[in-house]
Structure 1
Amino acid sequence: MEVTSYARILRRRWKLVLLPCVVALLAAWWTLPEEAAPADAAVTSYSATATLITPLNAPVDEVPISLATVALYATTGDIPDLAAAELKYDGLPEVLAAQVLVQPNAETSTLTFTTTDEDGQAAANRVNVFADTTIQYFKDLEESQNKIRAREINRELDRIGEQITALEAGGTNALEQTEMASLNEQYSLLQNELRTVTGNSSGPILEVLQSGVPIPEATQTFAAPTNPMARIGIAALLGLLLGAALALIVERLDSRMRTREQVEDAVGLPVLAEIPTMPKNHRDGVASAARPASTVAEAFRNLRSSVLLLSPGLADAATKGAKPGGLTILVTSALPHEGKTTTVANLAAVMAEAGRRVLVLSLDLRNPRVHQVFGVENGTGVSDLLAADRGRQLKSVLRETGIAGVTIATSGHQTDHPGALLASVGPMIEAARSLADVVLIDTPPMLAVSDALDVARHADVTLLVSRLNKTTRGQAEECHRLLSRLGIAALGTVLVGTRPAGARYGYPMASPPEATVAEKSEQTEQTDRTEQTDKAEKTEKNGKTAKTERADSGAGEAD
């Protein structure tokens, strides 16, 4: 999605974007403290470190074991077992040892034991016990090794002593004296070593440099700013971010179509015209006739041009076996309240404005409204003719609409089975073709009931009305599927509820100029001639009807 698309979404849903911002600003102002509160440091844990060091008087070459080896012994083997027993730890010694970090430092000849705990004293006890246990373990290990060595030296001294005694008893020749001297030297060395081992003159390999003490580890808590401008700025930023996120989420979940491209892609038909939203005070009656200079009227004229430009192809088809007569246009929509009835009325007005004779056929027998738009009574009409199987006598129920060139056949009285009546509407539509140049059929929504689909097979073309921000993509795709499956000739889509492009372009919405006196006189004479012609046709029709009735009566008597 491009940046401009995001901008359009935020502009369209600006209320949703601003609502969290306003709430955040009010909350920030309401919770503004009177005084600045100091940031408190919350103590969450304690650390403790014990340090061992090699004695300074111990020569490096006399240290029996390296610090790395001591560190390894401190966390494995017997030392963790001894420390766990000392601390009365109930768990595994290995788990306890994992809580202590032992780090040797060869440069400083030190060994550190570090641990952390929520209880400071427990942390100090842990590292001190591990340190003391390590010292005592290696001290006991050294003493044990010294005792073993002392026993070995004593056995060696006894053996050498026996050899010296045997030599003294045997004689004093030169060879014996040399051997005795060597044995005495060995004996003396072993005695010195025995005194060193038994005296423990080497001392411990490690000693405590520093015992562990609990040190609190403080965490700095966040303190909201008390400056009013900073607080309001942060609240506004967070509110805008939250509002933008909500707007994008709602947009993602909302499948209503909002652009011409979306409608054409979903329906699979071109958009023939875009009808702008009518002002509330212009929605009564037929806007194209009442306000012929308005943007709405111009939009319906664009629709008229599109329909008439596409109709020559239908005329060519008529020469190849199509139904003769006037162009029959069925107007429907996906769901109610999308503007199909308004489209029928205004398209009829602009068609008549272009010199076409227009017949509006109200076949919405379930919720008829087109007669209300024209201001005509809904008396005897389509349903009455269909119920009496007199569909071809459509001319008998035609009414004038008040718009020159436009007549209407109202829906008639309500019926319990409108779908069954519309199944036999074919002859009526054939009769309508001979009565006008253009027949506009108002039908129910095609996704609500099947009436429009039953009638569409008798019409030349179908116009599908879609309202922006109302029709969903799924509904439009379902309409396309139904039209394609039934092979209905759909001319295109009429897009209702767009922004008035003419007003933005800058043309003033001027009223039509007043007619001159001569023009008014000419219009009056033309109206009088039209009324006289209509009366003559009506008289001729009544005469023919009377003759037919007398002929039928005579035939009945003969039978």
Structure 2
Amino acid sequence: MSTPETPQDFSRANSSPNQPDLFGSSTALRHYAAVVRRRWRWIAAGLVLGMVGGLISTVIATSTAPKSSYFKATNTIVEADGSGTANLSQVAFLLQSAEVQGQIATAMNLPVETLRGLIAAQDQSNVSAIDVTAISTDPQFAVTLADTSAKILMDSWSTDSKRRAAESSDAVIARIDELAAKRDELESQIARNPSQATLLRAELDSVINQYRLAREQFQSIAVSDQTVAAFTVFQPAIAVQINGRAFAIRYDANLNSRGSISATQSVPKLTFSETDLTVVSGSSRAVRILIGGLVGLILGIATAFVLEVWDDRIRRRDGLEAVTGLPVIVEVPVFTRAERQELSVIALDAPRSRTAELYRTVRTSILFAIEAESLAALANSDSPDSPRNDRTPVILVTSPSPGEGKTTTTANVASVFAAAGTRTLIVDCDYRKPSIGKYLAPIPDLEHPTNPQPTRVENLWFIPAPRTSASPAIVIEELGRVIDSWRDDFDIVFLDTPPMLTTNDATDLLASADLTMLVIRSGQTRTVAAERVSGLLARFGAPVIGTIFNGCSAADMEGYYGYYGAGYYGSGYYGSGYYGSGYYGSGYYSSGEGQPAQTGQPAQLGQRVRPTPVAPMDAPQTPTSTNGSAEGDAQS
């Protein structure tokens, strides 16, 4: 038997199995997204470790950094009666006056030059308060300076308010006396000169009005003098440690404040070392954690991609084709946990599901491969009129290692054939670890264990693995006789064999099979194992239909299976690919040579109707069993 050489066209020999096509940006992006989804734990671990590292570095930096020698102290004063009548901005500005700073310097017994840039007042209008802040390299000095400045500011405001009230009162009294004297003078003129009484009386009325207004002003000043806004200390000063940068900023702000006496005099400029500028605030901690998290995230992503490069497990279709040189028939998505636990046959239990449709795609591929084998054998025969080999095709299903979905694939593909009316037989060749019977629920025949047993799937029979302690060679020989004796009673036979790299059983059974189908699991099968299996199959000349790629994630499947549109059936594998304009498009199949027999004819035992790639019947007939009569009708 021979296989078409065109499956090798699917191999990307010059590409790495798990590397994206850098020339296809969308494919590369999907690959990168799949790597992130697959390795997200490493990325999350890097992010967490980076944030923890940032927090630890903050603690270490805080503990090892030299202690700052800069402090600030703030004394908060408020209006005693809370009336809000005082002009807070004017009160705060008073602290920058030379007179107040001179009083502070006298109270502190210091030259006034030493206070320049060290004190400032800031009004807080929303709470009717004033913050008097002092900075220094000595915490106690800063507290004393702030408290003293606040006290002198309060006293100065009170004294200044009283002085201004007294000055206003004296000015109003002098005005009242002046108007009273002028009133008396006008009254005497009216008495001496009655002829001008009208004009003088009008002037007298004006003076009397001014006199009345002056009296009202005097009364107002008297009342305001009694209610001069007084301040009291709300919170005494407390020294707070600051860094050199904060000290320098506040120092420069104090020097440049409007009204500061230092603004008009020469003041030595302060300099700060790098250690003075060390940030120890809470915002620095957040920044360090953020930077640590960012670095950890980058390292986590880098680690994820490094692991992806080192990981030789096959995850992508192109990688599998590059390693094995075989076309991927379908990519079967991961089964749900319920489907795995229930041992369900998806093609039977959920025939309209996406996975069932994929198994029907496998059926189509097998039918084409069977026809290709038949046509190739006919083409290689000595005579064009040679009889066609009508023996039932035997499909061997194997995998490199256990747990790759070989048994599940066999059960589902066989069920698809049976659902199409094809009399199907499954032979369990894994006598060391038989398991396919759990999917099929066969009716056991204890008297004749090697006879085909009906299963819960219509048109599907099952021969269990032999229970014997004989040597593997004897068991394989017996399996070969069983396969050969029963194959012609069915339309197609599937062999569920052990993994090829675990035992030699599958290799020994290659002689009993017409075609081989390889099952690979995404994320489990390693490159070396896939290469060894494909090498073994090539060495023994086994015709391989292709590979079934199990357990594929949505990100790695690259959207091959669109709903009959531009996906798998549109312009994909069967559209313009291998079976479209390739071997079977313009080759034997389109030329009309060796057309398969028409379907719909009943098949008796010993009379074969080969399965053909046509649509299944809507209502397959149920086989019956009688002695020496036909077991049922078969339709391919």
Q: TM tier, shorter chain?
A: 0.5 to 0.7
Out of 263, 267, 290, the residue aligned to residue 349 of structure 2 is 290
Tell me how far 1:11 sits from its aligned partner: 3.2
Task: Please say which of residues 312-321 and 427-436 is displaced more in the overlay.
Answer: 312-321
Is contact 1:20-1:240 (8 Å) kept?
A: yes
Residues 224 and 315 of structure 1: is their aligned pair in 2 closer, same or farther, counting only changes over 3 Å?
Answer: farther
Tell me how far 1:374 sits from its aligned partner: 0.9
Deviations 1:118-142 (A, max 9, x none): xxxxxxxxxxxxxxxxxxxxxxxxx
Could you tell me how far apart the structure 2 residues matched to 1:252 and 1:222 are? Answer: 45
Tell me how far 1:250 sits from its aligned partner: 1.6
Could you tell me how far apart the structure 2 residues matched to 1:506 and 1:488 are? Answer: 34
Listed as ranges, the matches of 1:69-218 within 5 Å are none
Out of 476, 485, 497, the residue aligned to residue 443 of structure 1 is 497
Read off the aligned partner of 2:288 and give its amino acid letter.
Answer: R
Residues 403 and 236 of structure 1: is their aligned pair in 2 closer, same or farther, counting only changes over 3 Å?
Answer: same
Residues 221 and 410 of structure 1: is their aligned pair in 2 closer, same or farther, counting only changes over 3 Å?
Answer: farther
Tell me how far 1:377 sits from its aligned partner: 6.2
In structure 2, list runs of 5 or more residues that go unmatched. Answer: 1-18, 23-27, 68-272, 382-386, 565-618, 632-636
Tell me how far 1:232 sits from its aligned partner: 1.9
Could you tell me how far apart the structure 2 residues matched to 1:35 and 1:530 are? Answer: 82
Read off the aligned partner of 1:340 and give its amino acid letter.
Answer: K
- Could you tell me which residue of structure 1 aligns to residue 549 of structure 2? 495
Out of 416, 419, 435, the residue aligned to residue 353 of structure 1 is 419
Could you tell me how far apart the structure 2 residues matched to 1:316 and 1:409 are? Answer: 30
1:537 corresponds to 2:627: yes
Residues 346 and 230 of structure 1: is their aligned pair in 2 closer, same or farther, counting only changes over 3 Å?
Answer: same
Could you tell me how far apart the structure 2 residues matched to 1:417 and 1:266 are? Answer: 34
Task: Give the secondary structure class of the aligned counterpart of 1:326.
Answer: coil
Task: Give the secondary structure class of the aligned counterpart of 1:434.
Answer: helix
Out of 404, 419, 422, the residue aligned to residue 338 of structure 1 is 404
- Could you tell me which residue of structure 1 aligns to residue 295 of structure 2? 238
Read off the aligned partner of 2:467 and give its amino acid letter.
Answer: H
- Could you tell me which residue of structure 2 aligns to residue 455 of structure 1? 509
Tell me how far 1:423 sits from its aligned partner: 3.2
Residues matched between the structures, number? 332
Task: Give the secondary structure class of the aligned counterpart of 2:368.
Answer: helix
Tell me how far 1:304 sits from its aligned partner: 0.7
Could you tell me how far apart the structure 2 residues matched to 1:494 and 1:35 are? Answer: 58
Read off the aligned partner of 1:19 and give its amino acid letter.
Answer: A
- Could you tell me which residue of structure 2 aligns to residue 267 of structure 1? 324
Out of 516, 525, 543, the residue aligned to residue 471 of structure 1 is 525
Read off the aligned partner of 2:313 and give its amino acid letter.
Answer: R
Out of 356, 359, 367, the residue aligned to residue 300 of structure 1 is 359
Could you tell me how far apart the structure 2 residues matched to 1:339 and 1:418 are? Answer: 23
- Could you tell me which residue of structure 1 aligns to residue 390 of structure 2? 324
Could you tell me how far apart the structure 2 residues matched to 1:361 and 1:255 are? Answer: 33
Could you tell me how far apart the structure 1 residues matched to 2:395 and 2:517 are? Answer: 7
Could you tell me how far apart the structure 2 residues matched to 1:221 and 1:452 are? Answer: 77
Task: Give the secondary structure class of the aligned counterpart of 1:348.
Answer: helix
- Could you tell me which residue of structure 2 aligns to residue 412 of structure 1? 466
Deviations 1:334-389 (A, max 9, x none): 000000100110001111122211000111111110111112366659xx97xxxx
Identity %: 31
- Could you tell me which residue of structure 1 aligns to residue 312 of structure 2? 255
Residues 504 and 468 of structure 1: is their aligned pair in 2 closer, same or farther, counting only changes over 3 Å?
Answer: same
Is contact 2:348-2:415 (8 Å) kept?
A: yes
Read off the aligned partner of 2:35 and give its amino acid letter.
Answer: I
Could you tell me how far apart the structure 1 residues matched to 2:469 and 2:46 are? Answer: 52
Read off the aligned partner of 1:247 and give its amino acid letter.
Answer: A
Is contact 2:374-2:389 (8 Å) kept?
A: no
Task: Give the secondary structure class of the aligned counterpart of 1:403.
Answer: coil
Could you tell me how far apart the structure 2 residues matched to 1:540 and 1:11 are? Answer: 56
Task: Give the secondary structure class of the aligned counterpart of 1:335.
Answer: coil
Tell me how far 1:259 sits from its aligned partner: 0.5
Task: Give the secondary structure class of the aligned counterpart of 2:523.
Answer: coil
Is contact 1:276-1:295 (8 Å) kept?
A: no
Tell me how far 1:234 sits from its aligned partner: 0.5
- Could you tell me which residue of structure 1 aligns to residue 52 of structure 2? 26
Is contact 1:359-1:435 (8 Å) kept?
A: no
Tell me how far 1:484 sits from its aligned partner: 1.1
Task: Give the secondary structure class of the aligned counterpart of 1:351.
Answer: helix
Tell me how far 1:324 sits from its aligned partner: 3.5
Tell me how far 1:249 sits from its aligned partner: 2.3
CA RMSD for the aligned pairs? 3.5
Could you tell me how far apart the structure 2 residues matched to 1:245 and 1:251 are? Answer: 10
Could you tell me how far apart the structure 1 residues matched to 2:508 and 2:457 are? Answer: 30
Could you tell me how far apart the structure 1 residues matched to 2:446 and 2:318 are? Answer: 43
The TM-score with structure 1 as length reference comes to 0.53
Out of 334, 338, 345, the residue aligned to residue 277 of structure 1 is 334
- Could you tell me which residue of structure 2 aligns to residue 63 of structure 1? none
Is contact 2:50-2:294 (8 Å) kept?
A: no
- Could you tell me which residue of structure 1 aligns to residue 607 of structure 2? none
Task: Give the secondary structure class of the aligned counterpart of 1:285.
Answer: coil
Task: Give the secondary structure class of the aligned counterpart of 2:374.
Answer: helix
Deviations 1:75-98 (A, max 9, x none): xxxxxxxxxxxxxxxxxxxxxxxx
Is contact 1:363-1:441 (8 Å) kept?
A: yes
- Could you tell me which residue of structure 1 aligns to residue 477 of structure 2? 423
Tell me how far 1:221 sits from its aligned partner: 12
Residues 464 and 222 of structure 1: is their aligned pair in 2 closer, same or farther, counting only changes over 3 Å?
Answer: farther
Residues 36 and 453 of structure 1: is their aligned pair in 2 closer, same or farther, counting only changes over 3 Å?
Answer: closer
- Could you tell me which residue of structure 2 aligns to residue 15 of structure 1? 41
Read off the aligned partner of 2:292 and give its amino acid letter.
Answer: A
In structure 1, list runs of 5 or more residues that go unmatched. Answer: 42-217, 386-393, 508-525, 542-559
Deviations 1:270-302 (A, max 9, x none): 111111111111232311101111111111011
